Amino acid sequence: MVYLDNNATTPLDPAVAEKMSEFLKEHFGNPSSLYPIGREVKDIINEAREIIAKALGASRSEIVFTGSGTEADNFAIRGVLNAFPEKNEMITSAIEHPAVIQTANFLEQKGVKVSYVPVDEHGMIDLEFLKEAITPQTALISIMFANNELGTIQPIETVSKIAKEKGVLIHTDAVQSFGKIDVDVNALGVDLLSISAHKIYGPKGVGALYIRKGTKISPLIYGGHQEREMRAGTENTIGIVGFGEAVRVIKERGYKDKKRIEKLSKSLKRGVEEKIPKVKFNGHEKKRIKGTLNFSFLGLEAEAILLALATKEIYVSTGSACSEGAEEESHVLSAIGLRPEIARSSIRMSLGRFNTEEDIDIVLSELPEIVEKLRQISSFEIEED
When the beta carbons of 196 and 345 are compared against ligand PLP, the nearer one is 196
Letter for the amino acid at 360?
I
Reply yes or no on whether 322 is catalytic.
yes
Nearest-approach distance from CB 144 to ligand PLP, in angstroms:
6
Gap between the Cα atoms of 38 and 20, Å rounded: 17
Nearest-approach distance from CB 330 to ligand PLP, in angstroms:
13
Label each residue of the chain as H, E or C: CEECECCCCCCCCHHHHHHHHHHHHHCCCCCCCCCHHHHHHHHHHHHHHHHHHHHHCCCHHHEEEECCHHHHHHHHHHHHHHHCCCCCEEEEECCCCHHHHHHHHHHHHCCCEEEEECECCCCCECHHHHHHHCCCCEEEEECCCECCCCCEECCHHHHHHHHHHCCCEEEEECCCCECCECCCHHHHCCCEEEEEHHHCCCCCCCEEEEECCCCCCCCCCCCCCCHHHCCCCCCCHHHHHHHHHHHHHHHHHCCHHHHHHHHHHHHHHHHHHHHCCCEEEECCCCCECCCEEEEEECCCCHHHHHHHHHHCCEECECCCHHHCCCCCCCHHHHHCCCCHHHHCCEEEEECCCCCCHHHHHHHHHHHHHHHHHHHHHCCCCCCCC
When the beta carbons of 69 and 352 are compared against ligand PLP, the nearer one is 69
Nearest-approach distance from CB 196 to ligand PLP, in angstroms:
3
Nearest-approach distance from CB 273 to ligand PLP, in angstroms:
25
Catalytic residue, chosen from 127, 304, 322, 374, is 322
When the beta carbons of 97 and 331 are compared against ligand PLP, the nearer one is 97
When the beta carbons of 206 and 367 are compared against ligand PLP, the nearer one is 206
Nearest-approach distance from CB 64 to ligand PLP, in angstroms:
14
Q: Which residue has the CB atom at the shortest distance from ligand PLP?
A: 69
When the beta carbons of 84 and 178 are compared against ligand PLP, the nearer one is 178
Nearest-approach distance from CB 268 to ligand PLP, in angstroms:
20
Gap between the Cα atoms of 313 and 332, Å rounded: 27
When the beta carbons of 2 and 143 are compared against ligand PLP, the nearer one is 143
| Residues of this chain that bind ligand PLP (CB under 6 A) | 68-70, 73, 97, 99, 144, 148, 173, 175-176, 196, 198, 207, 320-321
Annotated catalytic sites, by residue? Answer: 322
